[in-house]
Amino acid sequence: MTPGLIYALAGVALFVLGLAGVVVLNQALRRILAFNLMGSGAFLTLVGLAQRDGGVDPVPQAMVLTGIVVAVAATALALALARRLAQGGHGDG
């Protein structure tokens, strides 16, 4: 088993854990964290799978960087909404 494949499998495990979290948990903050876990899992799989032949492929790294920026923006929006909801007194977070 190559190191790249180990990363990819770890990524899949993180993704599944995160997905279970989003579906099962009911607090907004925990679900937002679980979504981040899913994202990280997908990124790890993307980088891990692309390294099978030993060399480093720059394209998935660029994709993951873009993906992280998107995930940060999405998390910020989710947190802002969750806070607004909690302040309104009707929140579940």
Partner 1 sequence: MGMAEAFLDPLPWLIVLPLAWAALAFLGGPGRGGHLAVTGLVVQLALALALAGQVLENGARTHAVGGWGAPLGIDLLADGLAVAMLLLAQVVALPLAVYARAYFSEVAQTAFWPLAGFLIAALNALFLSADLFNLYVTLELLSLAAVGLVALGGKPMQVAAALRYLLVSLTASAAYLMGVALIYGTYGTVSIATLAPLIGADPPLAAWLAAGLMLTGLLAKTALFPFHFWLPPAHGGAAAPVSALLSALVVKASFYLVLRLALDVFPALAAHAAPILGVLGAAAILWGSWQALRTPHIKMLVAWSTVAQLGYLFLVFPLLAPDGLALQAGVMQAIAHGLAKAAMFAAAGVLMLATGRDTLAGLAGVAGRVPVTLFAFGLAGVTLMGLPPSGGFLAKWLLIEAALSHGQWPWVVVVIGGGLLAAAYVFKVLRQAFLLAPEDSHFHPVPRSMEWAAFVLAAASVVLGLRGVELMALLAKGAA
Residue 70 as a binder of partner 1 (CB under 8 A): the answer is: yes
User: Of 17, 20, 66, 72, which one interacts with partner 1 (CB under 8 A)?
Assistant: 66
Alpha carbons 54 and 51: distance in angstroms, whole number: 6
Q: Which amino acid is at 54?
A: G
Print the binding letters for residues 10-49 with partner 1: x by CB under 8 A, - otherwise.
-x---x--xx--x-----x--xx--x--xx-xxx-xx-xx
Instruction: Return the residue matching tokens 């480093």.
Output: 56
Residue 63 as a binder of partner 1 (CB under 8 A): the answer is: yes
> Helix or strand or coil: residue 52?
coil
Residue 81 as a binder of partner 1 (CB under 8 A): the answer is: yes
Alpha carbons 26 and 10: distance in angstroms, whole number: 25
From the CB of 30, what's the least distance to partner 1, in Å?
Answer: 11
